[in-house]
Amino acid sequence: MAAAAIVAVAAAVVLVWTQAGGSTHMRSRRPVARRNPNPVRLRRRAPRPARGGSGNRSIDRVLAYTSYLSVGAGRHRDIALTFDDGPGPYTPQVLAVLARYHVPATFFAVGSAVQKSPRLVREESSRGYPIGDHTEHYAYLGHLAAAAGAGTALEHADVPAPRLFRPPYGSFNASTLSILRANRMLMVLWTVDTKDFSRPGTQRIIYTALSGARPGAVILMHDGGVARAQTVAALPRIIQMLRRRGYRFVTVPRLLRDDPPPRGQPPPHPLAGAGFLPSPPRR
């Protein structure tokens, strides 16, 4: 395994994301920090050994032909539940539901939240839940010259170096992809956005998850940020109904192993929408 896997997300190392005007072209460009007078350049440092070697092998196999996952090929009735923005006050309740129903999941952690609650992210990891990077401060990458990742916070929490990355708001550009490719990290988008971040109501979250479900789907929910009581309330029903429909819950690395994204899929497109500027987050 290359030694560069951890450096892209080290909080002490500034990741340079060049403005590309929302372009999704896959050309390789050297990142330039125009608004950062003293950029810290990427350093190559050997990560500590990570658990879950088979998961890393699955990531490597997929990276050999694509830069991202948004849905599996659909050969099996597998679904991956994913949770963003944590850990937070509602994370223990999410973990309790997952444990009650024996459901695996994948978490995308924000570095600043990990610093506040390292015990929770350690608990997630100890249960075998993969932890991905969701940046240090929930950065909107399409509008920043530089952003730091969550890797150092995860390392201090004694969690394996992340190989999965989810861009906040689904915002990224060609430079984002170039940096992830250089550091052997896979971008994980989603198939179904439950929009639970807006707290639309428990029943609406359930409906959105169930109506968008399909073999190989990646479902986006949130365990961190503002109050997630609606998500916690919706989760048991989502699990029960999807199981009745014959779905099996898997982690993202397991989905990559058993039902990877199809070869020849088109280049990824940002999910935030052209000209989107996030409002001050309630997260």
Q: Active-site residues: which are they?
A: 84, 222
Distance CA 245, CA 265 (A): 27
∠279-110-188 over CA atoms, to 5°? 90
Within a 13 Å sphere around the CA of 71, how many CA atoms are in the beta-carbon half? Answer: 16
| Residue appearing with tokens 């439950």 | 194
Which DSSP string corresponds to 190-239?
-SEE--GGG---HHHHHHHHHHH--TTEEEEEESSSS--HHHHHHHHHHH
- Which tokens sit at 39? 């950029």
Nearest 10 degrees: CA dihedral of 26, 274, 71, 59? 40
CB 267 within 8 A of CB 26: yes
| Half-sphere exposure for 243 (CA within 13 Å, toward CB) | 11
Encoded tokens for 224: 């961190």
From CA 32, how far away is CA 264, in angstroms rounded? 30
**């994204």: which residue's tokens?**
261
